[in-house]
Amino acid sequence: MYEIDMLLQGFANLASEPLPLLLALIGVTLGIIIGVLPGLTATMGVAILLPFTFGMDPVSAILMLCGVFFGGIFGGSITAILLKIPGTPAAAATAMDGYALSQKGQAGLALGTATLSSCFGGFLSVFMLIFLAPLLAGIALEFSAAESFALAVFGLSIITSVSGDSLVKGLIAGFLGLLLSTVGLDPMAGFPRFTGGFNELLNVPFIPVMIGLFAASEAFKSLGQPETRAEVKVYIGRIIPPWSVFKGLIFTILRSSGLGIIVGIIPGAGADIASFVAYNEAKRFSKNPENFGKGEIKGVAAAESGANACTGGDLLPMMTLGIPGDAVTAVMLGALTMQGLQPGPLLFKDHAGLVFTLFAGMLFCYAALLIIGLSSLRLMGKVLEMPRAILTPLILALCVVGAYAINNSMFDVGIMLAVGVVGFFMQRWDYPASPVVLALIMGPMAEASFRRALSLSGGSLDFLYTRPITLGLLTVAVITLALPLLRYFRGNGGNGPTADGAAAGTVGSAK
């Protein structure tokens, strides 16, 4: 079978060059630490480390960032179980039963179950990625400029799903991203636009913008918060769950992993939604649903396997179609682009060996997560005691070094800091950052593809409705846009937008 042969070749490539494996180990460790620290997310961790991967080969760079991604999603469960403080939004469901188990003196059982469930869900999602991604990429190879335009419009429509609690604010943020995407060189004619005479803006400094939005803004936010120092005084006890307990969790983990993969493939629905969907279904299938929320181990297993199974699903549309479904995959998309790799169907055609080496490395990341996770659970509790007075300057220093390292330019550092300030006020006023990044990525693709399609059709707009795939994608985009809007107006009793703009139907994914 083609996929198995290529995967074995990928393992052989990694075995002959151990550096990517070492960097993946470092990435997983850093990801767990980032996930453990409340307020730091997997997205923030990937954004901070992204500039430090520029000098690496593509496999090493992407595997290190994947390690941070996977470790960051898992790490949030440790604080959720020990302190009832979800380190990441995805761990919120874990906190409900995990903390209750800690209160009963079974913190070790909850932590061990969370680790095993996370890795099991992650392994399944990567295997799904291995077998489905080439199939989807093969279909996408038939795309021309018209289909690429429709795909970009579909990507932009996802803004409605990553807008968080306010659809209106999400759309405003997306519009801001589209405006920013027009700065630089015209994609067809090649003349400068809106650069104000700054040559540095001929290509929008995308990575400093991401660092500013996702990392510097969080650091600025923590500057205004009072010092807090967590105290971990929980009895942990045995970590590896006994077989008599684990065998009763197998079906819950399998079902939750399947749900997590499906949720991950849906653009805009991230690990936080996957964990709650899996938790809810575990409760619905349980013979004792009244135990959930009071220390039910199946609740921990379901939430963690669902959240981590979402990672492979997240990567599927990003790698095969070039569409990031959420913030963390948007940053990963930027990482692939900066390595000279264009995510999409051609990635599987032109760099199949590299792609399957990455898949093999992702399986290694989850194996590393299992070993590091189980062996470091007691130590990670100590990380929680790091004072904010040390952590915040450290994050800001990494942001500055990272932004400068891209082009050795203080102009990029200025962009990062300015965007960080903008991101701080966006957070303060509940404007989501993900739509800005999504629009920055999809805007140029939509513009260039539309103008190429228009040129090929001799100025006619027929390509919008005469090509089946284009028409289908545009229809899905319209539906994606319309459904949240309908829920928005229905949520207001048909009276139109309210002042706060709360959209009942919007979902957020803030990993």
- Which tens digits make up the pLDDT trace of 425-451? 988 888 888 788 778 877 888 888 899
- Which tens digits make up the pLDDT trace of 85-117? 666 667 777 877 888 888 787 888 888 899 999
The confidence band for 421, taking pLDDT boundaries of 50, 70 and 90, is very high
What pLDDT is recorded for position 418? 92
- Which tens digits make up the pLDDT trace of 27-51? 999 988 887 776 677 777 888 888 7
Give the mean model confidence (pLDDT) for residues 237-248: 82
The tokens 């936010």 sit on which residue? 221
The percent of residues above 90 in pLDDT, for the chain, comes to 5
Write the CB contacts of 501 (distance below 8 Å, at least 6 apart in sequence): 166, 167, 168, 169
pLDDT at 143 over 50: yes
pLDDT at 202 over 70: yes
The tokens 């990341």 sit on which residue? 365
The confidence band for 241, taking pLDDT boundaries of 50, 70 and 90, is confident
pLDDT at 204 over 80: no
If one compares 247 and 339, the residue with the highest pLDDT of the two is 247
pLDDT at 509 over 60: no
pLDDT at 118 over 50: yes
Contact, 289 vs 303, CB < 8 A?
no
Length of the chain: 511
3-state secondary structure 309-351: HHHHHHHHHHHHHCCCCCHHHHHHHHHHHHCCCCCCHHHHHHC
Give the mean model confidence (pLDDT) for residues 225-248: 69
pLDDT at 497 over 60: no
* CA distances in angstroms from 462 to 455, 459, 467, 470, 471, listed in the order given: 12, 9, 8, 11, 10
What pLDDT is recorded for position 494? 45
Reduced to 3 states, what is the DSSP secondary structure of residue 184?
strand
The percent of residues above 70 in pLDDT, for the chain, comes to 85
| DSSP classification of residue 289 | G
Of 230-239, 330-339, 360-369, 374-383, which one has max mean pLDDT?
360-369
